[in-house]
Amino acid sequence: MQDQLLAGRYRLVRQLGEGGMGEVWEAQDETLGRSVAVKLVSKLAGGGHRGVQARARFLREARLTARLQHPGIVTVHDLGETGAGDDQVPFLVMELVHGEPLNDVLSRGAVALPDAARWGAQISEALAEAHGAGIMHRDVKPSNIVVTPSGTVKVLDFGVARAADHHPTATADQLTQTGFIVGTPAYMAPEQARGFPEPRSDLYSLGCLLFELITGQPPFQAPDTMGHLSAHLTQEPPAPNSVSAGIPPAWDDLVLTLLNKDPDQRYLNATELARALRRLDAAPLGPFYIWTFAGKCLDVWGASTEDHTRIVQYGCHGRANQQFTLHPLGQGLYEIRTFVGKCLDVHGASTKDRTRIVQYTRHGGPNQRFTLHPVGRGLFEIRTFAGKCLDVQGANPDDHTPINQYTSHGGLNQRFRLVLVGSENLPEHLRPH
C-alpha cells in the first residue's frame, strides 16, 4: 500500500502500526504539504448492505469526534473511504503525534507517582471534554495513550470502538477479544462487559490504567478474555499498596474508588477525577527514607536544624533526620525537604562536580530543584539543576560519607531507593532499624 494516494490527496509513506481495527500509516497531505496519520479501518470492509450501514455509522461517529478540540485529544482532520464495492475501507486522517505509546513505557515497569498523577489528570481532562460532547471513549488502555516528547499525553481513537460495534461480520466473542464493542478485557468496566456502558465506564478503565502505571501490572491477572471479564464482574481489586509496597494511602483510595463495581460509587465525572489527580500531583509525597547502594540512608548530619548542614549517608535508624518529603513543582521537578522544612540544596548553586549537598532554607532557586529518573528495580537517579546526579562520594560504604553532585556515570553510588516511612512487606535487609 506504500505510495498509494487516498482521496487524491493523502499519499501513504510508511506503516506505523497494525491492530484489530486495521492499519495506521504516516502519510503526506499533498494539498497542505504536511505529515499526517491515516487510520485505515479495514475491519469495516465488506458485509453487504449491513456493511454499508456500518461504514456510514462509522463516518457519522468520526464526524462527531472531529468536533473535539482539546490539547489532550488527537485531532481528526478528515475522513473518507477508499476502494469500491465490498473493498471499500473507511479511513480517518489525524494529526501525526510523535511520542511513545504508554504500553511501551509500561514495558519498562511502573512509573513515578507524579508522572502517573499528571498523565492521569490530562487523560481525565480529555475524557471530560469528550463526555461533555456526548462521546464516550469505550477503550481507554495504554496503547491508546501517547506520551509526547514534551511529557504530556494525548488520547487516541475516541469513538472508534462505538462506531465499529455493529459491523455484521463481528461476532460478540470476536468483538470482545479485539475490543470493538466493550473495550479491551483487561481494562473493562463491569457494566460495559454487560453491554451497558456509560461515561463512568471510561473512568473505571482509567482506574485500571492508573493501577498499572503505579504498580507495573493490571489489577486483575487472567489467562484469557473470559477470565478478565469474570474478574471485573465478580472479584474485588487489590489495593495498589498490596501489590507494590510504598504506594501512599491517598493513591489506594483514588484507584479503588475508580474500580468500584457500582458506577455511582466512583467519581461523579471526569472533571472531578482530574481535580483529585491534580491534588495528588501537587501534594507532598512521603515521608521517605532515601536508601543508598550501601544499605544506608540519607541523613541530615547530627540532626542539625541549621542551614548549610551536610547531607551524608548513615546507617538507617528511622529517626526524623532521615525522613524526607518530595514536593512537586510541575514539569517533573521536586523540592526535597528535610525534617525541619528546609530543602536539599546544591551548595552555592555551583555546577561543578563534588559540590556538596546541604540543607538550606527554602528560597525557590534552581539549585533546590531535583528530578527523579527511574533506572529499573525501583531505583532512581536524583539529578540536580546542573544535570548531574546525587552521588555517594567515592562509592564509599561508610557512615558519614558526604552526598555530592557528580556527573552521571551510571554507578551504583548514584542509585537510590525511596522507601515510604511505615511501609510493610519490605525485605528484611531493607527494613529501617
342 is in an annotated binding site: no
> Taking the CA of residue 337 as centre, how many other CA atoms within 13 Å lie in the half-sphere pointing to its CB?
18
Choice among 139, 157, 165, 299 that is catalytic? 139
| Cα 61 from chain centroid (whole Å) | 27
**DSSP output for 25-48:** EEEEETTTTEEEEEEE-GGGS--H
Which three three-digit cell numbers place residue 207? Answer: 482506574
- By the 8 A CB rule, do 176 and 117 touch? no
Q: Provide φ and ψ at 346, rounded to 5°.
A: -80, 110
- Nearest-angstrom CA–CA distance, 300 and 312: 7
**DSSP output for 243-288:** HSTT--HHHHHHHHHHT-SSGGGS-SSHHHHHHHHHHHHHS-EEEE
- Nearest-angstrom CA–CA distance, 203 and 190: 12
87 given a catalytic annotation: no
Phi-psi region of 361 (alpha: psi -120 to 50; beta: other; left: phi over 0): beta
Distances (CA, A) of 43 to 26, 180, 195, 309: 19, 10, 21, 65
| Cα 141 from chain centroid (whole Å) | 10
| β partners of residue 81 | 90
In degrees, rounded to 5, the angle at the alpha carbon of residue 322 between the alpha carbons of residues 321 and 328 is 100
- By the 8 A CB rule, do 133 and 67 touch? yes
Helix axes 270-282, 199-215, angle to 10 degrees: 20
- By the 8 A CB rule, do 218 and 186 touch? yes
Q: Which residues are part of the catalytic machinery?
A: 139
Detail the residues annotated as belonging to a binding site for ATP. 39
Detail the residues annotated as belonging to a binding site. 39
